Each structure stands twice: as C-alpha cells, then as structure tokens.
Chains A and B, each alone.
Chain A
Amino acid sequence: MADTFSFELVSPERRLASMKAAEVEIPGAEGDLTAMPQHAPLITTLRPGILRAAGPEGEKRFVVTGGFAEVTPEAASVLAERALPVEDATGALFDELIAEARTAADAAPEEARAAADKLVADMQALRSTLGV
C-alpha cells in the first residue's frame, strides 16, 4: 500500500501547496476528517478551520475559510475560497473576516440564518484556537 499520496491546495488566485503527504487533516463541514492514501472517493464542503498536511517533506498548516475538498485514493485536493499559511494569519485579517461574515449573517434570509451564524461562530472559534 502506498504510504503517501499527492496533496494540493489551491485558492482562486494561486496554488498554495502541491506536495506528497501521508495524511491530510481537513476541516469538513460535518466535522474534521483525516484523509490518508487509499481513502474512499469523497467530496466535502469545508468550514473555516485549520488544514494540516503531513508527509515526508514535513508538516504544513493552513488557515482555510471555506470551499471544498476532493479526496480520491491517489490524491487529496482542497479548493479553498481563501487560504493562507498559519504563520500569516493575523488578528486584523480575522477582524475583517468576522465582520464580513457577520454582515452576511445579518442580511441572510430566515432559512439561511442558522448556517450564516454558524459561519461566524466557526470563524471566532478558529481565531481563538490560533490565539491571534
């Protein structure tokens, strides 16, 4: 059994990572999951959280704010709405993101309110996890 598979993280503006990984921890909308080689094909949406990829080239952590991930036995590709290395995340950035999410939540229609509120909560949780 192959012990690594290819991992890719792309945002609309650029490709952030393309490497061999042994495991990829994905903040799925329905809960975190760790994808490893030979994982069954899966597509999941993301919630704001930390994406972690570990492999022979070391470990990398990224902040993602949403998007989706496509996992196949040979590869995991994450298409993030916005993504950046954990080291680059700043308090100011989160202020902006949270404010944006909150505005969206306030404007959301009744049936989408819960999801929008959850987004705000997820952002805040992510911020406190990172401690910025």
Chain B
Amino acid sequence: MPSLKDLKNRIASVKSTRKITKAMQMVAAAKLRRAQEAAQDARPYAERMEKVVNGLALSVRGSDSAPRLLAGTGSDKVHLLVVMTSERGLCGGFNSSIVRLARLRIEKLQAEGRTVKVLTVGKKGREQLKRDHSDLFVGHIDLGDVKRMGYDVARGVARDVLGRFDAGEFDVATIFYNRFQSVISQVPTAQQVIPAPVDEDAEATTLYEYEPSEEGILADLLPRGVATQIFTALLENAASEQGARMTAMDNATRNAGEMIDRLTIQYNRSRQAAITKELIEIISGAEAL
C-alpha cells in the first residue's frame, strides 16, 4: 500500500506527463496541417510528370534505344529497397509498420534467391532494421537537419539512388513509405521506381512533337520522374508521421487522464481511511479513561 506522499508524487508526475503529451499532440496537429498542404501543393506537378513520362514510355518502349531507367538492366537479380522512416520516435506504429513491410519483402526476395540491398532514409528505420539485416545496408541518408521537406532533399536522395543505378549496383529499386490516408490511418506502401513502371491501360495520348528527340526528353525526364516520386513519398511520409504522432499522443493524453482519475480516487480513499483510523483511536482512547 503506497503512502499518501507516494500517491501525491505519482499524481503530480502523471499530470506533467499528460501536459507534455498534450503539447506534443498540438504541435503534431499544427505540423500535420502544414505537411498536408505541402503534399497537396506538390500534387499537380507529380500528376503531370507521371502522365507525360507514361505517354513517352508507351511510345518508346518497343524500341532498342529505350533508356535503361525505363527498360531496366535486363535482369532482376539485385534489388535495392529504399526504406523511408522518420527521424524521431513517439509516433505510434508509424516506423514499425514500414519496417515490417520492408522486412517481409526482404525475406521474400531472399527466399527467391535475389540479392537485396537496403538504403535507409531516416534514423528510426535504420535502428529497427539493424538487428536482422545490418549486412544488407549499403547507405544511409540522414534527415536529422532537414527543417522543411523541400524538393532539394528528394533530389539528394534521387541522386544517390541514380548514382548507384548508373554504377550498376542494382537492377530494381523499390521505395517504402507510409501513404497518408487520414489522421488515424496510414498505409505502408511499396512502390517500384526503377525501372519506371508503365501503366499499360493508359489511353493513347495526343501525338506530340518532341524537341529534342523522344529519347532525349526521356533521358532528361526519367531521373526527374524518380526524384518526383521520391519527393511525393517523402511528403506523404511526413504527413503520415505527424498524423501517427497526433493519434499516439491523443491516446497517451487520454490514458494519462484515466490514470490520474484512478490515482486520485485511491488517494482520497486512503486519506479518508487515515482520518477514520485516527478518529477511532481518539474515541476508543477517550472511552478507556
């Protein structure tokens, strides 16, 4: 049975925990709004880029001169998994769900006899994957000093990935991130970026004149397309992270509240018990005289 003093201290500590989680929740809510806006603003560019790349890809695919970023290297032996996670914790299952998806994919690919390489973006995913798969790591991109998720960051990641592709380090690249659906639901997603996926069903687009050649434009556009996809993924991830943190902190705040209620009842009961005990002692003392 904890003493009254213990209970009082306990209540005070849970109260300050609740204050912190409440503050974190509100900060996350504010950041979430900004992250969502950024994701929204980036959408028109990404959509158009995808449409144009797709249209070009369909028309060039058959020819021998199709760039390697589109046609692939001709094999799919070596896979690069780009696992994007957050820099900070306290965001519920956000990081674990990405890592779980990546881990499943690693096991599946290894069972099929493929070589797997892992590039981590963000500290948390690296920590979680290190336990089982540290031998697969080929690199890490730290986002710790990134204040605002700008296109430059995505370009940096894309440059790293494309450099490795040009050096022949891998055949297929897949990015892992959380797609933002709502504050309470983020969907871990795996998306192949190299070779560029082509949507077969896309309707035939207008016949364009190309300046310079179709191949020239594709060679220029495909790397940009990769950067754009990574940028979109990073933005979705940023929004998801804040959403997940908001939900997690909301839960934590509520739990702390419940705990305070329980402890307060316990505190009052034991205080009352102590008073009653003292009274009984005084009365029985008086009667004995």
Question: Are A and B genuine complex partners?
Answer: yes
B151 near A41 with CB under 8 A, answer no
Q: Which chain A residues (6-33) contact chain B, with CB distance < 8 Å? A: 8, 10-15, 28-30
Per-residue CB contact flags for chain B residues 206-247 toward chain A (1 = under 8 Å, else 0) read 111111100011001100100110010000000000000000
Q: A41-B207, A43-B52, A43-B211 are in contact. Are A15 and B44 (CB under 8 A)?
A: yes
CB-nearest residue of chain A to B210: A43
* A13 partner, pick from B42, B48, B209, beta carbons under 8 A: B42
Q: A68-B220, A81-B224 are in contact. Are A10 and B212 (CB under 8 A)?
A: no
Per-residue CB contact flags for chain B residues 32-56 toward chain A (1 = under 8 Å, else 0) read 0000001001101110110010001
Say whether chain A's binding surface is mostly helix, strand, loop, or mixed. Answer: strand
- The size of the chain A interface, using a CB distance under 8 A, is 24
Contact partners of A30 in chain B: CB under 8 A: 211-212
Q: A13-B41, A15-B41, A70-B48 are in contact. Are A43 and B208 (CB under 8 A)?
A: yes
Contact partners of A28 in chain B: CB under 8 A: 211
Q: Which chain B residues (144-159) contact chain A, with CB distance < 8 Å? A: 150-151, 154
CA distance A41 to B38 in the complex (A): 31
Contact partners of B228 in chain A: CB under 8 A: 12
Kindly provide the distance from the CB of B43 to the nearest chain A CB, expressed in whole angstroms.
9
Per-residue CB contact flags for chain A residues 50-93 toward chain B (1 = under 8 Å, else 0) read 00000000000000000110101000010101100000000000
Kindly provide the distance from the CB of B187 to the nearest chain A CB, expressed in whole angstroms.
23
Contact partners of A41 in chain B: CB under 8 A: 206-209
Q: Is A38 an interface residue (CB 8 A)?
A: no
Contact partners of B210 in chain A: CB under 8 A: 42-44
CA distance A13 to B216 in the complex (A): 25
Contact partners of B45 in chain A: CB under 8 A: 10-13, 15, 79
* B151 partner, pick from A12, A45, A72, A77, beta carbons under 8 A: A12
Kindly provide the distance from the CB of A84 to the nearest chain B CB, expressed in whole angstroms.
13
Q: Which 6 A-B pairs have the closest CB atoms?
A: A44-B211, A12-B151, A14-B41, A10-B45, A41-B208, A42-B209
- Beyond the given A41-B209, A81-B224, please list 5 additional residue pairs across the A-B interface where CB-CB is below 8 A: A10-B48, A14-B41, A29-B211, A68-B221, A72-B206
13 residue pairs A–B, Cβ–Cβ below 8 Å? A10-B44, A12-B46, A13-B41, A28-B211, A30-B211, A43-B52, A43-B56, A43-B209, A44-B210, A68-B221, A70-B48, A70-B208, A77-B48
Interface residues of B (CB under 8 A from A): 38, 41-42, 44-46, 48-49, 52, 56, 150-151, 154, 206-212, 216-217, 220-221, 224, 227-228, 231
